[in-house]
Structure 1
Amino acid sequence: MFEQSSAPNTFVFDMDGTLLNEHHELSPLTMSVLNDLRERGHRLVIATGRHYKDIRAYLTQLGGGIAAITCNGAMIHNAEGELIQRVCLPLAANETLLPLGEAAGVHLNMYTDAEWLVNAPCESMLDAHAESQFFYRQIPLQEMLTTPALKILFYGENANLQQLKTQIENALPLPIHLTFSDEYYLEAMPQHISKDDALKTLAMQLDFSLANSMAFGDGFNDVELFDAVTHPVVMSNASEKLKTLFPHAHHALPHTEDGVARFLFEHVLQAQ
């Protein structure tokens, strides 16, 4: 697919539904292909809604040396693990978002610098974090209202989340960015914070170009990221709505079939 001269030199990966399989693990094939890419001199970047502490185990499995955009862009770490950006929501946002979420009957979550906080337990949310051992701590809602957050997450049925999104958008103007990472997660980040903005900040800080770059993703929090790179690759397990937004994008097999690794092996590694 790509000639040697046109092959991407920067590769950006979402995690859940993309790089990780259905067990939220890095498969042996995925680890092998990504290590092969890096050994050939390509730049690898993780771009995820997860917290940085939640992906460190994966970065270690991949041998380190990978930059990370986490909390959908609210935190950026370079390949050495040094923090180069951190942006919190204004506390005023908590006072609007959290009561609306509670009234909507969805689970309230927030990521701080060091923790994942909730106001009520939700066992079904924990499965995805067994590998990383990054689990929530429950605190009262009143304490959440006064806690600075990198992002606030609402977890629940899509119909409830869609209603909540409309209510938030109709509330007093807030300096926030709302996005769905999948149909069950509505996420609120600081204004102008996204994977796209974070990738551009990372490129500027580390002095590399996005003129020949590729990104893999499956969620609506990847839309801006796809717009920022030369070659967007939509996972086959993504929603039809997302695929429609990028009719000319490449497609990879589902994450359950090592779609990222197989696409890279066939279209990038074998071509070099």
Structure 2
Amino acid sequence: MKRIKACFFDIDGTLVRTDHTISRPVIDAVQRLEQEGVAPIIATGRSYEALLPVKETLGIHSPLICYNGAMIVDGSDGTVLKHHTLPEKEARAVITIARKLDYHILAYRSGELIYEKERPEAEEYYNRIKLPGKIVNFDEIDELKLTKCLMIADHENLLPVKEEIMEKHSEKLNAFNSDPRFLEIVPAGIDKAGAVREVMNLLGGTVEESMAMGDGFNDLPMLEAVHWGVVMANALPALREKFPPERTAPHCDKDGVATYLADFFKWEER
């Protein structure tokens, strides 16, 4: 096996436990990677602002993949290295769909979380990201320039929405579930796999020198793109079944990342 130069991590359900905290063993394991010359890289659907507390808790300095690949940020100084936004016409079409169905929709614009009204079903999302939002009228914004949109509803209700978006707008948009109740919409061609390739190029390496860990279907392109993709035991069965036992880490609530990395890199107890 080639030497691993970088390890990419999803946040929720991977680094972060179901109670939205990061365990000491996971923090120590991620820091040990950096100490041993392996770049630990966060790859998340969160905005840069929302992932900062995780980055600071981990104490890492590598590049950061935000918005499921729509933005790449220099982890040492916050400089935006890459940024893709939704096409104007298609972004407004997605907002129209959400309004028609009366589903909650939020968006990120220049790092700010915006939405048209408070909805109780969005509480789970806000509890995750711990980022204050702002109520706006999307129609009163001349140019949206949205990094991504996110629609919240029951999974079975989001399935036909996803199909409609991909059927009508697949040339300009990509839609996927980052959680059964969260449908994310980003520019076409944007996913974590593409961002992983860009980051590895920035680091002077290739995907053959990388590994990744994740628990959601939005992580699947990344897990398949790297040399060694690892799924968390807490992932949905339909995702877990795509990976053999040797590429399955313990549950995020049982220090899965720390346990798997220690075994993979054959770390001895300190």
TM-score, normalised to structure 1, is 0.90
Cα distance in 1 for residues equivalent to 2:169 and 2:44: 29
**Which of 232, 235, 238 is equivalent to 1:235?**
232
Query: Which of structures 1 and 2 has the larger relative contact order (alpha carbons within 8 angstroms, sep 6+)?
Result: 1
- For 1:103, the equivalent position in structure 2 comes to 100
Task: Name 1:252's counterpart in structure 2.
Answer: 249
CA deviation after TM superposition for structure 1 residue 182, in Å: 1.4
Aligned residues of 1:7 and 1:268 also touching (Cα < 8 A): no
CA distance in structure 2 between the aligned counterparts of 1:250 and 1:83, rounded to whole angstroms: 32
TM-fit CA distance, 1:126: 4.5
Q: Residue 210 of structure 1: which of 203, 207, 211 is its match?
A: 207
Q: Report the more deviating stretch, 75-84 or 239-248.
A: 239-248
The 1:271–1:73 alpha-carbon spacing in structure 2 relative to 1, beyond 3 Å, is: same
Change (3 A) 1:106 1:132: closer
Superposition map of 1:181-192 within 5 A = 181-192=178-189
- Report the 3-state secondary structure (helix = DSSP H, G, I; strand = E; otherwise coil) of the residue aligned with 1:171: helix
**Given the alignment, which residue of 59, 63, 67 partners 1:67?**
63
The runs of 5 or more residues in structure 2 that have no matched partner are none
1:42 corresponds to 2:38: yes
Distance change >3 Å, CA 200–CA 249, structure 1 → 2: farther
Could you tell me which runs of 5 or more consecutive residues in structure 1 were left unpaired when the two chains were aligned.
none
Give runs of aligned pairs for residues 143-222 of structure 1, distance below 5 A.
143=140, 146-171=143-168, 174-222=171-219
Match of 2:9 among 6, 13, 16: 13
* 1: CA distance, partners of 2:121 / 2:147: 22
Partner of 2:26: 30
Task: Tell whether 2:265 aligns with 1:268.
Answer: yes
Structure 1 residues 132 and 141, CA gap change in structure 2 (3 angstroms): closer
CA RMSD of aligned residues (A): 2.2
Whole-Å separation in 2 of the counterparts to 1:257 and 1:25: 12
Give, in whole Å, the separation in 1 of the partners of 2:102 and 2:254: 35
**Contact 2:176–2:183 at 8 Å: present in 1 too?**
yes
**Paired amino acid for 2:264:** H
CA deviations 1:137-181 (Å, max 9, x no partner) are 111242468421111111110011002112223335540111111
Answer with 248-257 or 219-228: which moved more: 248-257
Determine if contact 1:65/1:79 at 8 Å carries over to the other structure: yes
Instruction: Tell me the amino acid that sits aligned with residue 191 of structure 1.
Output: A
- 1:109: Cα distance to partner? 0.9
**CA 127–105 in structure 1, closer or farther in 2 if over 3 Å, else same:** closer
Task: Note the C-alpha offset of 1:124.
Answer: 5.2
Q: Which secondary structure state, in structure 2, belongs to the residue aligned with residue 152 of structure 1?
A: strand
Q: Tell me whether 218-227 or 258-267 shows the greater mean CA deviation.
A: 258-267
Instruction: Indicate conservation of the 8 Å contact 2:62/2:75, yes or no.
Output: yes
Q: Distance in 1 between matches of 2:59 and 2:169?
A: 46
Aligned equivalent of 1:121: 118
SS state at 1:211 partner: helix
